[in-house]
Amino acid sequence: MQTITQLDPLRSAVAALKADGPVALVPTMGALHEGHLTLVREAAKRAAHVAVSIFVNPRQFGANEDLDKYPRHLAADSALLEAAGVSLLWVPDANVMYPPDFATKVLVDGVSDGLCGAARLGHFEGVATVVCKLFNQIGPELALFGEKDWQQLAVIRRMARDLDLTLPHADAIIGVPIVREADGLALSSRNAFLTPEQRQAAAAIPRAMQTAIAALHAGSAASSALTGLQSELRSAGFSTVDYAELRDAETLRPLTEIGEGPARLLVAARIGTTRLIDNMPL
Ligand code: AMP
């Protein structure tokens, strides 16, 4: 595995890999867990070479968010990726990604609105900008993202279509199902911030979501199923529920009940200082 931190060596390393076969990209912010490694394994099934980026992207963190305390474990991450057979690890510094005169932003209207876009202003602009740069820097044949960040996946798919990003396959942006702990909590680098009590309480998210999904399937209106979900989270110890919403799985249009095509339940809630997100299909 080659670890690269500057653009010129990146370009030559990528050219050499592409001469040998297709390259799949897995963008991450590091502090890798089994969710990230699942993306890497899926990538390896689909391409001759896997490139992983680790970049804690300052532009997708709001002013009062956890950029400074976001976990950084480069040595451990690198060992995991090497063992997983990754060919190239791209670890740019913030000033390589964003030189002082950097001026461009990618704004994806519509799918960026609401949900995490409302709770984290500017977040998806930061995500779309950095992912657009990563696609241009590496020019992968395909790229893999977790369904854990469902709205992010929708934003990236929209951006890739709208900007004719040159990923050769029509379905070059691949969504990988959420990897969960035994009690259902979605794996996240932010789970490391939870105290043992908060970690136990956090399992209320998938549990309350399953309850709401059962209620929706039994004919409940979204409003009552979602109110029930929010009160279950509050009783479990969550201080704030940023959102609990039923949306069209693809357009992210709000739904009032199920039955009008593929639907997705999406939740974000805060416990202590940690914000957790999850989503499930119906
Ligand atoms: P992050 O490092 O949090 O930016 O995540 C990098 C990629 O891993 C994103 O595409 C995430 O959606 C994906 N990911 C994170 N957690 C999980 C999980 N529990 N299951 C599947 N994919 C995940």
Residue 124: what pLDDT? Answer: 98
| Residue 274 · residue 190 · CB < 8 Å | yes
Distances (CA, A) of 5 to 9, 13, 55, 89, 270: 8, 11, 10, 9, 34
Q: Which of these is catalytic: 36, 73, 123, 169?
A: 36
Over residues 45-54, the pLDDT tens digits come to: 999 999 999 9
| Residues 241-250, mean pLDDT to the nearest whole number | 96
Phi, psi of 104, deg, nearest 5: -100, 140
Active site residue 217: no
- Beta pairing class for 274-281 and 263-271: antiparallel
Distances (CA, A) of 118 to 70, 108, 263: 21, 14, 20
Residue 110: what pLDDT? Answer: 93
| Residue 90 · residue 143 · CB < 8 Å | no
What is the number of the ligand 1 atom nearest to the C-alpha of 152?
12
Distances (CA, A) of 151 to 92, 127, 250: 25, 11, 9
Ligand 1 binding site (Cβ under 6 Å of any ligand atom): 28-29, 35-36, 38-39, 145-146, 148-149, 176, 178-179, 186-189
Q: How far is the centre of ligand 1, averaged over its atoms, from the C-alpha of 219 (Å)? A: 32
| Residue 217: pLDDT band with limits 50, 70, 90 | very high
The structure tokens 């990146």 sit at: 10
Q: How far is the centre of ligand 1, averaged over its atoms, from the C-alpha of 149 (Å)? A: 7
Q: How many CB atoms lie within 10 A of CB 191?
A: 18
Residue 169: what pLDDT? Answer: 66
Q: Which of 230, 261, 229, 227 is nearest to 247 (CA)?
A: 261
What is the number of the ligand 1 atom nearest to the C-alpha of 145?
10
| Residues 130-136, mean pLDDT to the nearest whole number | 98
Angle, helix 123-138 to helix 150-162, in steps of 10 degrees: 60
CA distance 77 to 225: 40
Amino acid at 119: A
- Give me the half-sphere count of Cα atoms (radius 13 Å) on the Cβ side of residue 144: 24
Domains in the chain, please, with CATH?
Answer: 2-176 (3.40.50.620), 189-281 (3.30.1300.10)
Q: How would you classify residue 142: left for phi > 0, otherwise alpha for psi between -120 and 50, otherwise beta?
A: beta
CA distance 24 to 30: 17
Residue 167: what pLDDT? Answer: 77
Protein residue whose Cα sits closest to atom 19 of ligand 1: 187
Residue 257: what pLDDT? Answer: 86
Q: Which of 4, 91, 84, 2 is nearest to 45 (CA)?
A: 84
Distant-in-sequence, close-in-space partners of 131: CB < 8 Å, separation ≥ 6: 27, 143, 156, 159
- Assigned token pair, 196: 């043992």
Q: What is the pTM of this model?
A: 0.97
Phi, psi of 245, deg, nearest 5: -140, 150
| Residue 144 · residue 42 · CB < 8 Å | yes
Over residues 152-190, the pLDDT tens digits come to: 999 999 999 999 997 766 589 999 999 999 999 999 999
Q: How far is the centre of ligand 1, averaged over its atoms, from the C-alpha of 19 (Å)? A: 29
Residue 171: what pLDDT? Answer: 82
CA distance 123 to 277: 14
Round the average pLDDT of the chain to a whole number and report it: 96
Q: How far is the centre of ligand 1, averaged over its atoms, from the C-alpha of 36 (Å)? A: 6
Residue 63: what pLDDT? Answer: 87
